[in-house]
Amino acid sequence: MGLKTLTVTVVATLLLTAAPAIASPPAFVLRDGVSEPVFSYDKAIRETAWVETGQDLDRDGRVDRVAADIIRPSEPVGRVPVIMDVSPYFEKIGRGNERQPKTYLPDGTPSQFPLFYDNYFVPRGYAVVLADVGGTNRSSGCFDDVASGNAVVNWLNGRAQAFRTPFGPERVRAGWANGSVGAIGKSQDGATAIGMAASGIDGLKTIVPIAGVSSYYEVHNSDGAYFGWAGGPGLYNERAEKLCQPFEADNARRAGTNGNFNEYWRGLDYVAKTGKVRASVFASMGFHDLNVNPIQFGPWWEALNAYGVPRKAWLHQAAHVDPFDLDRSRFVKTLHRWFDRWLLGVRNGVETEPAIRIEHTPDRWTDERRWPPATHSRTLWPSSEGGLGNRPASGAASLTDDPARGASQWVENPSQTSPERLVFAGEPVRADTRIAGTATLTVTARSDKPSARLGAVLVDYGPANARNTKFPALGIKNLSTRSCWGAGTAADTGCFLGTVADLTTVDKRILATGWADLGHHRSLWRGEPLEPGKAYTMTFRLSSLDHVVPAGHRLALVLGGTDADMFDPALPAPGARVTFELGGTSLSVPVASRD
């Protein structure tokens, strides 16, 4: 059979309930089950709407307006769905591997839309909207990313007002939109998409968060250990830089510096709000990401599992990398089918296929039905001889907190003694062993000071050829050639540098990390001073992981104090000598069951 082309009229209730009834339903063209590029990119409508958020965070006496740059088909196709990226990065950092910024013509009309979404999807009957978070680029207001994105969703569904200029009175309506929105983006943009979904906003049909944050407490703290407050994102426009100082100061005050979980952090805990999610989820995460810790993925993903949210994920061994730069052709095809399914209503079965595509070794991907896989918990205990075994051991071991050294140094030269860290290594594993999920560490420890920070690292000691993710490397490197994804113009070509795996030979790999403040052993909501010399027991999580420990390698637990790789050096240093009671200290790792 040859290729068949089918014009499909979209009348699905899924797409139309959020928008007023229309006289002529939209149409798109399918070929072999996917939407075809039949609309003009060159002639597409490019415009900006400034959308009211309903807030006045910059306190200028006017309702804040978010700048939403729009590109959509110019042909009379009826109402179309929207792919949206809400970001603070469009002006000062840019998006994607090449850090593309938004660009504009002299009259302010958008000319370059970063990334490939516009080039690829507008010809297929989608609109693409790139919205500036409040206070960034051309938006007024201050940094409230979820409110910024939700305001645009509301406008697209006729529930909010937008205007032709930043402060003018001329209104703009989204009569071209059918009300269905998919939010996509990496890092902060992905966090915004997760937060929007957690708000339960009507009209958001799917999200595609790439290395997104699901709980902001863990960005600035870990089990009571306060890393430091970065303050505002450093991305404000000149106007907001001045007007938003009180807003940022109030956020810092409410967040606190004592490591306590509080109402401020609860409001930014999207994992706890998973029950409100109405959108499907297509996520991506790198297990060696140093920008967004994988703990942001594991607990959130398991909550999505528990609530039965339609979901898919790409998981890899690179760092802070978009899957577009790992397996470009396969990712674009998957994303295309995902948006067709949830925004155009095409019954293509993508949601019934294996939910997980995962990389364990460079460029070798497998498909799996779920994550984490079926696992059993294996408990390992450190010994006074430096081992890590299957039975509790007696005795104690001590270290002295040195805030000048971090986890990347703790794991070096494991056979040598060092005062600021303890290394407990298991026997060489007899067969390849997969660890997948979120490990936990229980410690029973005494401090000679009223406070003590704890750091823990799970390490695979053994030779391997792996992606180079040693900071600032990301595990990929650019080629000199380009590939094009969709239509283009001179201002926005849709062509991007190719990438390949950046490989290196290593003798160890850090698999997971975790930190805690021993004074929060009783509750994350309130820390307490330690009684010097008294033993306290505390359990805390390490970062989520999925790693195969090859036969002959040794799995090790490395313990330290303040991690110089994580904590602001300006913070007071406890300088404690911490003694671990080995019989009350254990590591629980999720080991994949063998088929």
Active site residues per annotation = 187, 289, 320
* Closest C-alpha to 114, from 52, 214, 184, 213: 184
Strand-pairing partners, residue 453, are: 517
Q: What's the CA gap between 159 and 286, in Å, rounded?
A: 37
What radius of gyration do the chain's Cα atoms show?
Answer: 25
Residue 336 in tokens: 């295309």
Rounded distance between C-alpha atoms, residue 111 and residue 91, angstroms? 13
Q: Per residue in 15-45, is it b (16+ CB within 10 Å) or e — as a string?
A: bbebbeeeeebbebbbeeebbbbbbebeebe
CA 406 – CA 455 distance, rounded (Å): 9
Rounded to 5 degrees, φ, ψ at 399 are -140, 160
The position carrying tokens 């000048």 is 404
Residue 105: which residues within 8 A CB-CB, separation 6 or more? 111
The tokens 């790792």 sit on which residue?
589
Name the β-bridge partners of 589: 378
The whole-angstrom separation of Cα 481 and Cα 231 is 39
Strand partners, 312: 282
Nearest to 511 by CA among 484, 547, 562, 553: 547
